[in-house]
Amino acid sequence: MRVLVTGFEPFGGEADNPTVAALAALAAAAPAHPGIAVTTRVLPVDFARASEALEAAVRAADPAAVIALGLAAGRREVTPERAAINIADARIADNAGAQPIDEPLEPGGPAGAFATLPIKAITADLRAAHIPAAVSQTAGTYVCNAVFYRLMRVCQDLGARGGRAPAAGFVHVPHTRDMDQERIAAAVLRCVLTTAAHVRSGRPDLRAAGGAEA
């Protein structure tokens, strides 16, 4: 089965983005797992271009699953995201200098879209591997959220047209100041393997507590 995994270029004045190195490590590790073909793409941190690049990658790869990765500086856990929301509200400008504030990503579109990745199972498997992880309820309002929202809308469109709607969603990883690159790479590989196992078997996500009080 083919799995598309995307990351992002550096942004916000950072010299690197750990998702880029994680994609390289994933591509190197994937051949050791027969039956899984991994395609990777690095997306621009650009509201106008990132979502279009994501959609093009999905349609070209025809994957069974898509995992979009992003950097959440300040978090100390790997966080599979539950939902994307139809809003752009950028605290800082993107790499093209755009800074949308309170703008819909898709005028007239749904208020939100839920991941179809097995986010609870991914979280449990990461914890079992001693990698700090937790379900996150929101992907923010920056380019990560914009890509996540477009991803789910593209998948919905594929399903509506009678094609295969891949299991899809978004996973934030910490900065290397808070989690070393080797552990981030191991987490990304585990996300892929857990997702592939669930897609192949058709079993539902793990039913476990993963909510938040605030």
Catalytic residue numbers? 144
The encoded tokens of residue 202 equal 């058709």
Residue 1 in contact with residue 64, Cβ under 8 Å? yes
Residue 152 in contact with residue 65, Cβ under 8 Å? no
Backbone angles phi, psi at 78, to 5 degrees: -80, 130
DSSP H or E segment with residue 2: strand 2-8
Residue 86 in contact with residue 109, Cβ under 8 Å? yes
Sign of the alpha-carbon torsion through 135, 137, 141, 145: positive
- How many other C-beta atoms are found inside a 10 Å radius of the C-beta of residue 169? 29
> Where does 35-146 show beta strands of DSSP type E?
37-43, 65-71, 79-80, 83-85, 112-114
The encoded tokens of residue 15 equal 């010299």
The encoded tokens of residue 131 equal 């990698």
Which residues, including other chains, have CB under 8 Å from residue 6's CB and lie 6 or more apart?
23, 40, 41, 42, 43, 54, 57, 66, 67, 68, 69, 147
